[in-house]
Structure 1
Amino acid sequence: MSDSYDVIVIGGGPAGYPAAIRAAQHGLKVACIDDWQNYDGSRSFGGTCLNAGCIPSKALLESSELFHRAHEEFGVHGIKTGGVELDLAAMQKRKAGIVTQLTGGIGQLFKANKVSGMQGRGRFLGDGKVEFTDPDGKQQTLQAKHVILAAGSQPIELKSVPFDGKQVVDSWGALEFDTVPGKLGVIGAGVIGLELGSVWKRLGSEVVILEAMDTFLPMADAQIARDAQRQFKKQGLDIRLGAKVQGAKTGKSGVTLSYEDKDGTHDLKVDKVIVCVGRKPCSAGLLAEGTGVETDERGFVKVDEECRTGVQNTWAVGDLVRGPMLAHKATEEGVMVADLIAGKIAEVNYEVIPSVIYTAPEIAWVGKTEAQAKEAGIDYKVGTFPFAPNGRAKAMEQAAGMVKLIANKRDDSLIGAHVIGPMAGELISELVVAMEFQASIEDLQRTIHAHPTLAEAIHEAALAADGKALHGINK
């Protein structure tokens, strides 16, 4: 094994492995070190996203949605299914197969691009030196002209509700249940909590979500969040806001959660608990003393807009640094840094990073909310259009939700876009492109959208911003 490289990447998740591949595409000699270990002890690249986050959760969301629709909706389409039964083992096997295919593909990409994939622990020593410890404990010091720190993040554990891996689990553990909990407690009504709660609700759990904040989905546009809360309540998700969890007692018969809200202290008896209160950077143990790389009080590595740490030729990307903890943001930062190392012009436009919640309905947004536009003193206009009159949404039996567009009145530019409804995560891409190219509302109005498609709701929302909607009542 060589001990000298142009670039060493510590971390093989959605920030690290694309950075390694792009650097190698520039003709640089690259190594990517990753310490991910699966439940069964095996090792794979891909980080939380591919192994225990984005990919397995979406596999279960898709499977559980089909199960739910077979029970609740197929009859409306004239499809008689008879007795529909859940085979959770088969569902989990399918999920695991998808994960294996995608994580295995990273190894193939490394081989094709001549990246040295190294499984074990990486620790930055400073001056371009990286300590590599293999799974057997053997250590080696590697040297690089550039080091990219991409160690990712991990779930935050509550001191009052510690993980035990069985009855109280993190988001990864919640993807590995081998039986459907009769009653499930979820702490945190953020993206992860809502997605995991939705999976197990569709499969038969009674789900109670406890959220410490008084506001539901504060990061989303308030109008969209209100619609989402209403629809989740209709689905049977019991979301309790302002519920601050004080502690948990585990026993043979389940878990008793104690929480406090405006009405006092309460106990909630459940079979299992998922703790989804956020994630923290995996910076502990990553940096030796004296490297010069600084972290803030929460453990995030300090970087500038180009992800430079302030230490020469040392970079940090992804969940390890400021900004939203999103896989696509991490990937773009990794690619940007690789391009900058190769002397290319590169940047990440942080103003147009989309966010998606893969519930049903899906929720997606990019840019400013209406409240943010108001706070910034922008003279803005809003165009909204529901999916209810949309022919494709009607045909799909998924006509709940809306598209909301926010534009600056001064120059008609699109500054925010919000979608709740079918395929919102796909629809938002058109609006990201529009914002990236500084499109105006008029540009969207003049863009021909195929009929019948869900995207027509975007066209109608753009028309509605100027009181010109064709299939809705203009206000």
Structure 2
Amino acid sequence: MDSYDVLVIGGGPAGYVAAIRAAQLGFKVACVDAFERGGKPSLGGTCLNVGCIPSKALLDSSEKYEMIQHEASEHGIDVQGATINLQRMLARKDQVVDKLTGGVAFLFKKNKITSIHGLGRLVRQEGDAWVVDAAGTEVLARRVIVATGSSPRALPGVQWSGRIVENSGALTLPEVPGRLGVIGAGVIGVELGSVWRRLGAQVTVLEALPGFLLPADDAVSKLALREFQKQGLDFHFSVTVDHIQDNGNDVTVTYTENGQQTTATYDRLIVSVGRVPHTAGLGADAVNLQLDERGFIRADAHFQTNLPGVYAIGDVIGGPMLAHKAEDEGVAVAELIAGQSGHVNYNTIPWVIYTTPEIAWAGLTEKAAREQGHTVKTGQFPFSANGRALGHNDTRGFVKVVADATTDRILGVHMIGPNVSELIAEAVTVMEFGGSAEDLARTVHAHPTLSEAVKEAALAVDKRAIHA
């Protein structure tokens, strides 16, 4: 029986990062992963294969198409007859995915990690080690890290079909649908809805909650909704879906909104109503691995489950279902196993939505900060007063800094506008060091850059913004 110091079940962002870090720390490591793409083993999990990476590739392609159609002329560039070659666009997306998943396989070889394709299942404990069924062969591991991720949540009674798809199916539609329905106005629904709207679809978004992007700061969510509606996305809130029927050539959705029942017909329907922990086939019942009432694996602050030597990280333990959160947990758990001080600061994990305009935030919203008892002061600066944004011809949005009025410590930073997915990292760094609005305001920023909006927002906390 092969024996390993650390065996990782799952090769997504949590699992493959944990495996690499453990190998760097000198452990003999194996990773068992069952993910396949195109009938072939493919490391990287949902994120690299059918999530973060391919969706961002399509977002970029569709944004370029829309820019050529509607914005190039403002730059003095006249383009006539621009058309979409959807198959080439999808092929480019697949090439990006292939490069990155192949990169993970290369890193496994570089770090001498044994890669096993197939399902991993906890079988039994033997002494201070665990026997794991790795793709049909039993192996022994002194430590096991469960990183099996999550799966799309299905609506009761609704089956995935040719016309009804989840996130992965929405990345491979064979044609641009004339009418696209999206159930769920979360990150996935809005991003994928934006892709197909830019390419020509008429998009309707049905959301059960009473408002848009409720976890974001109120000022951000209000502006974002206005911008997306202006672009043509049709939102309906407080919706109850009563019935969905795949008719072969189209899909009918019957839903209730404000007490009135409506039946709508779409060429395709994307269902994006959240994700559920993936523990099927793990053997949790057989070894008494504890799950909570929602099916997530119970783990303590050090990722230790109720089973000695068995750890769990990533989507399967709950919290923000974000690849970068999972990656940091992968590093932390490997270092904890090595006796180091692995740690993840959940208070500074950034959230990003890659629409146009982009949305990003970290830390507390103004409302949450007040609810937690902070006396709050805020500073806000618009991109309309930023020279680089004007040069880009994209001045929508702003940066908002939320600080404690007594200590000046930054409690949260919220952004909507151009390239804020990149700008948020600066705010996270300052917050990670317990920095103040004054620290951010006193930091020299290159001119002209979009990042100057961050500095100006920090200055505005004390009403000292120079350019607004």
Shift of 1:288: 4.2
Within the candidate set 76, 80, 89, 1:78 is matched to: 76
Give the corresponding residue for 1:132: 133
Task: State the SS of the aligned residue for 1:247.
Answer: strand
- TM-score (structure 2 length as normaliser): 0.98
Within the candidate set 142, 147, 166, 1:145 is matched to: 142
- On the 8 A contact 1:120/1:132 being kept in 2, the answer is no
Task: State the SS of the aligned residue for 1:388.
Answer: helix
Task: State the SS of the aligned residue for 1:200.
Answer: helix
Give the corresponding residue for 1:469: 465
Give the corresponding residue for 1:87: 85
> What is the letter of the counterpart of residue 72 of structure 1?
H
Matches within 5 A, 1:9-20: 9-20=8-19
- On the 8 A contact 1:169/1:274 being kept in 2, the answer is yes
Give the corresponding residue for 1:304: 300
Give the corresponding residue for 2:193: 197
**Structure 1 residues 120-129 or 387-396, which shifts more?**
120-129
Q: Deviations over 1:177-209 (max 9, x none)?
A: 120000000000000000000000000000000
In 1, Cα distance between the equivalents of 2:306 and 2:334?
A: 17
> What is the letter of the counterpart of residue 119 of structure 1?
H
In 2, Cα distance between the equivalents of 1:299 and 1:118?
A: 26
Task: State the SS of the aligned residue for 1:66.
Answer: helix
- On the 8 A contact 1:356/1:362 being kept in 2, the answer is yes
Within the candidate set 51, 59, 63, 2:49 is matched to: 51
Within the candidate set 355, 359, 378, 1:382 is matched to: 378
Task: State the SS of the aligned residue for 1:454.
Answer: coil
Give the corresponding residue for 2:21: 22
Within the candidate set 429, 447, 450, 2:443 is matched to: 447
> What is the letter of the counterpart of residue 73 of structure 2?
G
Give the corresponding residue for 1:112: 110
Shift of 1:290: 4.2
Matches within 5 A, 1:7-406: 7-38=6-37, 40-127=38-125, 128-132=129-133, 134=135, 139-164=136-161, 166-406=162-402
- On the 8 A contact 1:192/1:276 being kept in 2, the answer is yes
- On the 8 A contact 1:184/1:271 being kept in 2, the answer is yes
In 1, Cα distance between the equivalents of 2:255 and 2:157?
A: 11
- TM-score (structure 1 length as normaliser): 0.96
Shift of 1:162: 2.4
In 2, Cα distance between the equivalents of 1:205 and 1:78?
A: 27
Q: Identity, % of aligned pairs?
A: 50
In 1, Cα distance between the equivalents of 2:303 and 2:124?
A: 17
In 2, Cα distance between the equivalents of 1:405 and 1:256?
A: 44
In 2, Cα distance between the equivalents of 1:375 and 1:108?
A: 48
Task: State the SS of the aligned residue for 2:197.
Answer: helix
Shift of 1:287: 2.3
> What is the letter of the counterpart of residue 160 of structure 2?
F
Task: State the SS of the aligned residue for 1:172.
Answer: helix
**Structure 1 residues 240-249 or 274-283, which shifts more?**
240-249
In 1, Cα distance between the equivalents of 2:188 and 2:63?
A: 16
Shift of 1:253: 3.4
> What is the letter of the counterpart of residue 35 of structure 2?
W
In 2, Cα distance between the equivalents of 1:211 and 1:15?
A: 30
Judged with a 3 Å threshold, the aligned counterparts in structure 2 of structure 1 residues 338 and 148 are, in CA distance, closer, same or farther, namely same
In 1, Cα distance between the equivalents of 2:417 and 2:429?
A: 19
In 1, Cα distance between the equivalents of 2:124 and 2:240?
A: 42
- On the 8 A contact 1:184/1:272 being kept in 2, the answer is yes
In 2, Cα distance between the equivalents of 1:299 and 1:130?
A: 23
Shift of 1:322: 2.4
Residue 426 (1) aligns with residue 427 (2): no
